[in-house]
Structure 1
């Protein structure tokens, strides 16, 4: 290796030293030049193992890394994707990979690889799935339950016809739950509601505004096309109210705002687009 590429490698070693994520320098041929301390801990390797450490010892995707991902990063300037690292005992570590080429003039001397551990997010996703299934079971047994699915998050899944009388009852139940639990988010899931009358739609929006007065944020999920048409047709204001496609996405949204890392992005609803569908 020439003196200048070696200088580049030294610079990147210093840059990677303080990173909490796995960071490595790999030659395009696959030779591992460096792994930072956080990276060695993630894959349960000791510093004295680094000389001679191969890509296939660090990841089950060695062939793709050398044959596809590093060349793609060289061509485009960067490559990103989900993959796995391999611990010393062979167990996998799910990660988000970012690969970028290190150039010496016009020549690529190495690839910088940064991998963020997704294990925590995946465990959270599994717990979210468990709680989601638990909520579905409760919903089947009760008409309008209030469920505290997480610290600071309550949900009110609504199923069936919602008239003005029921909407008033929902308002009282939800506000009491928000006040009692100190929840920061209240999710009103309308997946099981096919239609509402105009008075009820206005009443539901009053419920959401009342939730805001208690210091919580209201999230609406699962709005059906017929309900969206009524809301849009009435010109009712949804300012400050988040609308998402499903209860699952609503839970992810709230968890992100509470500081948890979740692996997938929620999709915000366009009510006008739904109403037109």
Structure 2
């Protein structure tokens, strides 16, 4: 083998070094391509698993609204095969109220909307896709089939409406406002009276006093089993509110147990008329009305005479 000179040996060394660098670069690029391909496969498998198993549809439209991709199990509810709408224009397929979010996304806005199409309720997310210059080139969308959830929601709302109406009926039956005499309302209260129920009663009774132009309102507690501090305070406030409307509030039928509770709570009833039962309360109202009529120079009614005589 012929001996190489110093110049030839240097050239050989440089060429070998270049080959090593090129080989390393090529190997690195090959490794990067392998990693990218593996990542793409992972993403594709994940997307495929999601589209094949969940009630969703993934789709993409270009700037003109042409559908580039449209796939997912969610289309089963619409009885349409995957890809059926690819190549068609979304703005031609759907009315403005459905396609408007797509136009907004093409304008650069991230949109979340709920629509109904193909007989299915959808919850949509429209995501604008931008190029390197920041211009929107397309929109990627995800549509979730919420038909079943909406149905359950409507059923639950209907059930709540029924319960609310039933509750109102029970409330009206348990606290009926009765006109037992001309200008006299009676509110028989039954059971345990809590602060929430008393507040509702206050609204109803005050409205009835104004509507019927009542001069007296009798709160009959004969059927009340127990009261607490707030309830007792509400009753006092109710009587005072009745007085502000130009009528007189009278409490009747306080049971011994309720009376003891009121005393222990330190609630003052000095300024409020309290009577033993509803009949005594009605007699009081009739007598007061007759006295007011006499003082005003007006004759009292035959009904008043009859009630007074029967009492």
The alignment's TM-score, normalised by the length of structure 2, stands at 0.39
Considering Cα pairs closer than 8 Å and 6+ residues apart, tell me whether 1 or 2 has the greater RCO: 1
The alignment's TM-score, normalised by the length of structure 1, stands at 0.43
Greater per-residue helix proportion: 2
